[in-house]
Amino acid sequence: MKAINLSFYKRKLTTISKQLFLEQGWPMPEGLRDPRKRDPLKFTLEDWQKAKRTGLNPKQTKVLLREC
């Protein structure tokens, strides 16, 4: 066993997921079709967990931070 550095793995996985959507004929998410159309208010697992602990809405928190 040996560790191999996977450079640019997120880009490679995005390319693979695009190919999978196209091959299967599934409707592709808007952000995957055009990265500029991604939802800037989409939150990560970390944001969701923090919101769950604090009881705040993560979308409202992101809007507030963007306005600042």
Residue pLDDT, tens place only, 3-61? 888 788 888 888 999 999 999 999 988 878 877 777 766 777 887 788 888 888 877 87
| Tokens of residue 65, six digits | 């931070």
Q: Helix %, strand %, coil % for the chain, to 5?
A: 65, 0, 35
Per-residue confidence (pLDDT) for residue 67, from 0 to 100? 85
CA-based end-to-end distance of the chain: 49
Other CB atoms within 10 Å distance of the CB of residue 33 = 12
Per-residue confidence (pLDDT) for residue 35, from 0 to 100? 74
What is the residue whose two structure tokens read 């970390």? 46
Per-residue confidence (pLDDT) for residue 40, from 0 to 100? 65
